[in-house]
Structure 1
Amino acid sequence: MNKIQTKIKSFLSKFFGNHDLQPDEDIFALGFVNSMFAMQLVLFIEQEFQVAIENEDLDFENFRTINSIANLVERKTTVIMHK
C-alpha cells in the first residue's frame, strides 16, 4: 500500500471496527456507508490531501474502495501540481 492508501485505510478503519478492510473491498457492499459517513469521508479527503472534491467527483465509483479513493486523490493532486 502506498502512503495515500494507508491514510485512507486508517481513516476508514475507525468506522469499520475490527474488519480488516482490503484495498479492493467495496465499502458500500459491506453496509458501512450512510450519507453522514459519506460527508465525513469527502471532508477527510479534502482536508487530508488538500484537494477539492467537485460535484462531478461525487460518483460512487470514486469512493467504492480504498484503491478507487486513492486513484481519485492521485488524479486531483496531479491536476494541482500541473497548474
Structure 2
Amino acid sequence: MAQDVRAEVRQFITGRFPQITLDDDQDIFALGFVNSLFAMELVMFVEQRLGVRVPNDELRRENFSSVTAIAALVDRVGTGTEAPAG
C-alpha cells in the first residue's frame, strides 16, 4: 500500500507542478513551488483522496515536506482514523 500512496501523492504534486522532476525524498518546500495554499491543498488531498483524518498535532511542515514524509504520515495515522476530540 505504501507504494500506492507514494504514487498517488507524487501524481498529485506533479499534476500541480508538471515542470518539476520529483524524487520521493525531495523537500517540496525547499524546491520553492509550495506555498501555504498548496500546503493546505496537500492536507485536503490526504484527508479526502487518501481517506486519512490528519489530527491537529500532525499538521506540521515536516509531515508534508516530501512524498516519503506524506506516505509515512498516512501509514502512521492510518486510513479512516479519527482524531481525538479536543
Same fold? TM cut 0.5: yes
Matched letter for residue 53 of structure 2: A
Matches within 5 A, 1:23-42: 23-42=24-43
When residues 18 and 45 of structure 1 are mapped into structure 2, their CA distance, relative to the original with a 3 A threshold, is same
1:48 aligns with 2:49: yes
Residue 16 of structure 1: how far off its partner (Å): 1.8
Query: Which region of structure 1 is more displaced relative to structure 2, 8-17 or 70-79?
Result: 70-79
Structure holding more helix per residue:
1
**What residue in structure 2 maps to residue 64 of structure 1?**
65
Where has structure 1 moved over 6 Å in runs of 4 or more? none
Alignment partners' CA distance in 2, 1:51 and 1:78? 5
Residue 18 of structure 1: how far off its partner (Å): 2.2
TM-score by length of 2: 0.84
Percent of aligned pairs with the same amino acid: 43
Deviations 1:10-29 (A, max 9, x none): 00001222212100001010
CA RMSD of aligned residues (A): 1.7
Contact 2:51 2:79 (8 Å CA) reproduced: no
Residue 78 of structure 1: how far off its partner (Å): 6.4
Matched letter for residue 57 of structure 1: E
Residue 53 of structure 1: how far off its partner (Å): 1.2
Unaligned runs of 5+ residues in structure 1 are none
Unaligned runs of 5+ residues in structure 2 are 82-86
Matched letter for residue 22 of structure 2: L
Residue 79 of structure 1: how far off its partner (Å): 8.1
Alignment partners' CA distance in 2, 1:59 and 1:39? 11
